[in-house]
Structures are given as C-alpha cells and as structure tokens.
Amino acid sequence: MKRVKLKTPARYIINTSLTVLLYVLLSVIVAATGLRGEYYKGIIITVGINIILATSLNVVCGYLGQLPLGHAGFMAVGAYAGAIFMKATPAATLLRAGNTVALIPYIIIAILISALVAGIFGLLIGIPALRLKGDYLAIITLGFGEIIRVVLTNIDSVLGFKFTYGASGLARIPKFTSLAVMFIVTALCLFLIHVFMKSRHGRAVLSIRDNEIAAESVGINTTFYKTTAFVFSAMLAGVAGCLYAGYIGSLYPSTFKFMKSIEILVMVVLGGMGSMLGSVISAVVLTALPEMLRAFSDYRMVVYSLALVLMMIFRPKGLMGTYDFSMGNTIEKIVNNIRKKKEVKDE
Amino acid sequence: MSFSLLVAQLINGLQTGSVYALVALGYSMVYGIIKLLNFAHGDIIMVGAYMVYFAIASFALPPIVAIILAVGVSTLLGVLIEKVAYTPLRSAPRLSLLITAIGISFLLENGAQLVFGADQKSMRSMITGTVSMGSINISMAAVVTILVSVAIMILLSFVVNKTKMGKAMRAVSEDMGAAQLMGISLNKTISMTFAMGSALAGVGAVLYLCAYPQASPTMGSMLGIKAFVSAVLGGIGSIPGAMIGGFAIGILEALVAAAGFSMWKDAAVFLVLIIVLLFKPTGFLGKKIQEKV
C-alpha cells in the first residue's frame, strides 16, 4: 500500500485555515455573548499572552534543558519598552478616534522594539549566565530578573526625569491589544518557535539538551546555540510583555516579581518540558480556570505549587512529556488507517 | 560620615550578616550532601518566625519556650520536607529536584498566607536595651545575635569535624555510593543534615525577629535568597565560608544603605552574586569541582 504523505504547502494551508477558523470562533463567542463578551475577551487576551510566555520559556526550559528563573524580567523590559514607545506616539489619539488602520504601523513598531530591547537584555544576560549550569544558572537568572525589577523601580531618581515612573507605575498606556492583535501575534510567535525548532538550529538546540558534551564533540557550537535560544526566548517574552502593556494599560515593577517567573515556569513544567502543545494547554487551563472559579482564587497559588511538587514526584515529564501535536501528521495517520482498513476489506 | 555612625552601621551589618550566615549554613550543608539548592530553606525560617510570634504575642509564653518551639518546629518541618518531597526524587535528574524545591517553597509561602493571613504580624522585640562603648551605642540584640551565631558556628564545626555523625556527613557528601558501601546509612545521614540545617534556620528565625520583630508569609524568600548568595560567596559546602559570606553580605548591605542607596540594596547583593559566579564560581573557600566526561 502506498502511504499518503502530505506536502509541506498542504500542511501550511491546513494549519492556516484552522488558525483562521479558531479566530473566527473566538470573535463570534466574544460578539455573541454581548456584555459578558468584554469579560471573555479579557480572559482570551490574557490566555494569549500567557501562551507566548509559556512557549517562549519552553524554548530554554524544555528544548535547551536549562532552568532560567528570570523570565518575568524580560517580560518587564519588553512591556516597558513597548509602553514608553506607545506613549510617545500619537497612538492614544488614534485609538480614541477609532482609526485602527493608522494604528497598525505603531503597533508593529512597538512590538519590534519590545522584542529588540528584550533581546538585547537577553544577550547581555545570556552570555555570562549560560557559562553556568543547573542551579547556578537558575540563581544567576533570578538575580538578573530581580536587578531588572529594582532598576525599573529606581531608575527615575538616577536619570533625574520621569522615565518608568518607578513604583507609582507607568499609567495611561494606549490600550492597543485587541483580540485580533493578540491572536495574530500569538500565532506568529508559535509559528516562529515551530519553524526555529524544526530547522537545523532547532535540532542543534535539542542535541545540547540531550548531551552537551556529545553535541560539542560532533562540532555544534554549543555556546552560540545556547545564547541564540536564550535570546530568542527573551525576545518572545518581550513581545508578550508589550501585549500585556497594551492590554492592561498601566505597568508596575511589582507585577514582574520572582513569583511571575515561577507562574510561567509552572505552566511549562505541568504541560511537559519540551512540548509546545503542553505549554499551550497548561497556559490556557491555568489562566482560564482561576478566572472561571473566582472563589478558588485564594487557593490558586497553593494548588499551583502543590501541583508542581506532585507532578515532579509522580510524573516528572509533565502532562504531555515531549510529545508535540501536528495536524498534518494526524491527518496522514487517519487517512492511512482508513486506506489500510479498505485494503483489508477488499482482500 | 562620622566614625561612630560608621561603626554603628558595621555592627548593624554584622547583625544581619550573622542571620544570613546561619541560614547560609543550612543551604551549604544541604547543597554539600545532595547537591540540591533547597529553595524551601528560607520559608522554614518564615514558619519558625511565626512560631515565635504566636508563642510570644498570642500565648504570652516565655521567650525560651518560644525559641524551643521555633527550633523544634523548623527541624521537624525540614525533615518532613526531605522525607516527603526530596527522598522520592533522589535518583531523578537535578532539574526535577530543583523544581520540587521551588514548588515546596511556594507551597509554604502560599500556605502561610492562607493560614496566617497576608498581613505583617508585628511584635515587641524580645531583647531590648543598649550597650555603650564610649560614644558608640550598640543594641543588646546585635550583641546577642552576633555572639549566638558565632557560638553556633563553632559548635557546628565541632560536630562536623569531630563526631561520628559529622564524619558520615562528610563521607556522604564526598561519595554517596562509597559511603553506603562503608555501612553508612544514607537516609539517616541525609535526614540528620536536613534536621541540623533546619534547626539552624529556626535559630536564624529567632535572631531575625530580634532585629526586625515582624513576621510575614514572604519574609523567607528574600532572606533565603540572600543567604544563598552568602553561601555561594563564601564557597558552597564550606562552613567557615558560609560564615564569611554571610558577614560580607550583611556589611555590604549596611554600607550601601549608609551611602544613601537603600533602595538599591537588593540589586547590589545580586550584582555581587553575579560577579562572584562569573569570576570565581567556587567562592572564597569552596573546592574546585572537576567535570567528568
């Protein structure tokens, strides 16, 4: 029997149409539920931001096999960079006038600036930090994350003018993160991660996780790939921060505490380190569930941490392990199975 | 800055530093034996501090009972955490163990927030009064804190270097397998290490309350991280190293605050950590570890 094999363009068409379908579905839900729709929209946007955060941490945590604890720091840098840019542009007046088309270039530039600034910070932190491993890497990234927060809180007194507005918070940021912006950016981020991981660079990153010494001995420049993955992850976290700033409208350094990094880490670990699907599922569940069960919110962090410990003891691989879902492969499998059954019947 | 102010700041730094040193010892011992960065260690201090608070402020028990209660509960908690969370993962990858430790730390913090409430609980200081030396006034609490921690460190050095238990601990940290072959009970030794480390955290909690008489659910995390920085600075796995590191970090903080940058205190500590990790990851007194291929 000849096995059916989907060509790459066909796979892209399938995935793109499914993505568009998901967007239509989400906007219909938001539109159809009227007043509650605004509330749902908020949850959906938060879910999207958390998906970017979790999958970007998964690049370093799951694919590269390191444990950084400063992810919130990159998110903070991206958020402040994007917010300060947006405040400097006439975006707020455009937004009030409802001129969405003229807003688009500003949004794109803000996101790129966030990615760039977070990437620069990722590079500055990654080069020294990635010389260390395991616990030391964890603690040094934690240190950097905390330094970023302290600097964001106190930088104004050094600069002598209002830049980040310190602990009192950066307010009146144009709220540009609509459902569409969130959806397109999230889809793009996931696509970028997927493409990166399927390329030879992605395989090099995976080989470093599996055995760094062996990877080095077959000629992979481990320092380069470690730094690349780290910077890539930081850039995406910056993008997530930019979306967050545009959704929430005001930024406080205390949002980006160590606790935030751990929240993101919980999503990655529960979903399965090394599985994009796992990160996405746990980002969706862990964001939507506490929102749906308001009474439960007091216990949220207790349950998170308990889940983390139990997961490590009983299922250290996480929900999905390193399994990743591919629509194309699934369709192939189904079609092949049907054909096989038909052939058996014909005989 | 006047001389007496400088001395006062230095004494302050030594006082905080000796708390850091005691906590750092716990980190260092646990790290030495199972190569685990025990994130939950700082939160054991928090639980110990709440015990002191309840004993003194709520039940008006004498301070000595409060101290015994704090040290006892901390010790039990440390051993319990080791048995429940770390023992099942002894052969698991280090990353899983580290994530478990983070999980336990957050469980304790958020559990405390649910049980004790999120607000700070303030109490009267246990030790009051000052000692005057010429023009310099030193608080009694500082004197007691520094003396107690130095005494404990001398005691600990004795236990680790001279007793049979200490010998077993050193053997296990050097080579777990070989130690087991020599008839050393692994479980017992590791539990003992956790018990001693956590008891030190309990003492640390009492001394911390002498300096800053208030307990809150998140007090342990920053204290724990700074103590860990002290342990790394002094050379992880080394008892005198932890002591030197603790004092160094305490004095650094006091000096940064005295120079008028108290908002930047945390950043300064982390900066020191980063510099140390990059240029001398083994710290002042640590041993160099060769990587095996």
pLDDT tens digits along A33-79: 877 778 888 889 999 999 999 999 999 998 998 889 899 999 999 99
Considering only CB atoms, B106 lies closest to which of A150, A153, A262, namely A262
Q: What is the pLDDT of residue B288?
A: 61
Q: Is residue B239 part of a domain?
A: no
Domain span at B184: 22-219
Question: Does residue B285 lie in a domain region?
Answer: no
Q: Does A143 touch chain B (CB under 8 A)?
A: yes
Per-residue pLDDT band for A208 (boundaries 50, 70, 90) equals very high
- Which chain B positions have a beta carbon within 8 Å of A299's beta carbon? 114
Check if the beta carbon of residue B153 is closer than 8 Å to that of residue B25.
yes
Cα–Cα dist A281/B71, whole Å: 43
Angstrom distance (rounded) from CA B205 to CA B208: 5
Q: What pLDDT, on a 0 to 100 scale, did the predictor assign at position A1?
A: 60
**Looking at the complex, does the CB of residue A305 fall below 8 Å from at least one CB of chain B?**
yes
The verdict on a CB contact (< 8 Å) between B232 and A301 is no
Looking at the structure of chain B, the number of domains it has is 1
- Count of beta carbons in the 10 Å neighbourhood of residue B83: 14
How far apart are the CA of B222 and the nearest CA of chain A, in angstroms?
Answer: 10
In a domain, A2, yes or no: no
pTM over 0.90: no
Residue B265 forms part of a structural domain? no
Closest-CA distance of chain A to residue B271, Å? 8
Burial profile B4-36: b = 16 or more Cβ within 10 angstroms, e = fewer = eeebbbbbbbbbbbbbbbbbbbbbbbbbbbbbb
- Let me know if residue B272 belongs to a domain: no
What pLDDT digit, counting tens, does each position of B106-152 carry? 899 989 988 888 888 888 777 777 777 767 777 888 888 999 999 99
Residue, of A307 and B165, whose pLDDT is higher: B165
The pLDDT score that the predictor gives to residue A177 is: 87
Q: Which residues pair with B137 in a beta bridge?
A: B132
Structure tokens at B113: 């927030």
- Within a domain: A1: no
ipTM score: 0.82
For residue A23, pLDDT over 80 is answered with yes
Mutate to test the interface with B, among A133, A139, A156 (most CBs of B within 10 A): A139
Query: Residue B178: how many CB atoms within 10 A of its CB?
Result: 11
Return the pLDDT at A336. 85
Contacts of A67 in chain B (CB under 8 A): 95, 98-99
- Please give the mean pLDDT across all residues of chain B: 87
Pairing label, strands B136-139, B214-215 = unpaired
Residue A281 lies in a domain: yes
In a domain, B12, yes or no: no
Q: Domain count for chain A, please give it.
A: 1
pLDDT at A278 over 70: yes
Asked if the structure places residue B29 within a domain, the reply is yes
AA identity, residue B268: A
Distance CA B226, CA B20 (A): 7
pLDDT digits (tens, 9 = 90+) for A43-56: 899 999 999 999 99
Contacts of A105 (CB under 8 A, 6+ apart): none
Give pLDDT, residue B289.
58
Rounded Cα–Cα distance for residues B92 and B64 (Å): 41
Task: Answer whether residue B129 is part of any domain.
Answer: yes
Q: Mean pLDDT: which of B134-148, B214-228, B274-288 is highest?
A: B214-228
Q: What is the pLDDT averaged over residues A264-270?
A: 88
- Residues paired with residue B131 on neighbouring β-strands, in sequence order: B138
Beta carbons of A262 and B278 less than 8 Å apart: no
Whether B28 maps to a domain, the answer reads yes
A21 three-state secondary structure: helix
Domain around A100:
8-346
Q: Say if residue A87's pLDDT is above 60.
A: yes
**Contact assessment for residue A238 and residue A74, using Cβ atoms and an 8 Å cutoff:** yes
